[in-house]
Every structure is written in C-alpha cells, then in structure tokens.
C-alpha cells in the first residue's frame, strides 16, 4: 500500500473516530455504514438521508455515509447529491444550502420537491475536512431534525 493510500485510510479512520465521539445535534446518529469512498473517476456521489421514527413517533435523522471520502483525482469538480430516502413520512430538506461559508463547495438550494439537494465539490483551499449539518423539516409542522456528517477531500 503506498503512502498516499495509507494517509487516506488514516484520515478516514480519524474522522470516523472523532465523529463517533461527538453527540450529534437534533437526535442524529451514526449510520450503519459510517464511511464511503467517492472514487477519483466518479463525476458524482450520493449521500442518503433518511428519517427513522419509532412507534412513539420519536424521529432521528440518519446519514449514510456519515463520512464521505472524496478522492480528488485530476481535480475536476464532483457533484455530491443528498437524497431523502425511505418511506415518505412527511419530511423534506429545509430550504437552505447544505454547506455554506466554505470556498471548496458551491451548493444549491433544495429542488422543487425538497427531496434532493446538491453541492459541487470544487477542491479549492487548503482545508480538507468539512463537518456540516443537514437540516430536515416535517412539512406539516416545521419541526426540524439535524444531523452532522463529514466530507474529507483527498
């Protein structure tokens, strides 16, 4: 295994450990598959967001993967798609960009049905690890659930 590959694995491992030590806001939790690699040759990557509700109607947000490792490759921007998955339980993305204030990302507002939101990873700047928040709201009453996943550029 070459040094660059080893470094990538170490970064992902560290972020996953750190993410596991943080108590997610809004009742979010780590997803079953906590990390995933977006390969250098890919033009886009998908992150699934779902709302899990128990019998008492207590709901939590789950992001899969919790950590997305984006391989830069030749530096061509990659589109990252966040999609609400699972049964339609009346939740939608909040009407705001997923990542703000970071020069490495150019993000859009959610689409017209608010079930998908996208950002373009531009690989700009020197920062490589990004924690951000996904905000999902219940369309009937506006109650909000937040989850705080990570993106690591390499």
Q: How many domains does the chain have?
A: 1
Q: Is 33 buried (19+), middle (13-18) or exposed (0-12) by CB count in 10 A?
A: exposed
CATH number of the domain residue 74 falls in: 2.60.40.420
What pLDDT score was predicted for residue 33? 55
Note the pLDDT of residue 54. 85
Cβ pair 118, 81 in contact under 8 A: yes
Yes or no: say if 63 and 149 are a contact pair by the CB < 8 Å rule.
Answer: yes
User: Hey, is 66 helix, strand or coil?
Assistant: coil
* pTM of the complete model: 0.76
By residue range, what is the domain housing residue 119? 3-153
Beta bridge partners of 67: 35, 150
Burial 113-141, CB ≥16 within 10 A → b, else e: ebbbbbbebbbeeeeeebebbbbbbeeee
Residue 105 CA: distances (Å) to CA of 57, 119, 137, 143: 35, 6, 23, 27
Q: What is the pLDDT along the chain (154 residues), one digit of tens a residue?
A: 554 444 444 444 443 333 333 333 333 333 345 789 999 999 999 999 999 988 887 889 999 999 999 999 999 999 999 999 987 678 999 999 999 999 999 999 998 889 999 999 999 999 999 999 999 999 899 999 999 999 999 9
Task: State the Cα angle at 26 between 115 and 83, rounded to 5°.
Answer: 20
The pLDDT of residue 154 is 92
């Amino acid at each position: 295994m070459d040094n660059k590959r080893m470094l990538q694995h170490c970064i992902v491992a560290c972020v996953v450990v750190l993410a596991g030590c943080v108590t997610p806001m809004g009742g979010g939790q780590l997803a079953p598959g906590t990390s995933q690699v977006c390969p250098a040759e890919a033009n886009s990557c998908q992150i699934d967001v779902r709302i899990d509700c128990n019998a008492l109607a207590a709901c939590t947000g789950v992001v899969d993967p919790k950590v997305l490792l984006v391989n830069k490759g030749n530096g061509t921007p990659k589109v990252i798609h966040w999609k609400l998955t699972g049964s339609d339980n009346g939740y939608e993305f909040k009407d705001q960009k997923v990542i703000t204030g970071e020069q490495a990302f150019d993000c859009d507002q959610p689409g017209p049905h608010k079930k998908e939101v996208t950002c373009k990873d531009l690989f700009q700047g020197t920062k490589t690890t990004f924690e951000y928040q996904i905000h999902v709201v219940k369309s009937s009453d506006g109650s909000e659930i937040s989850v705080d996943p990570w993106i690591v550029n390499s």
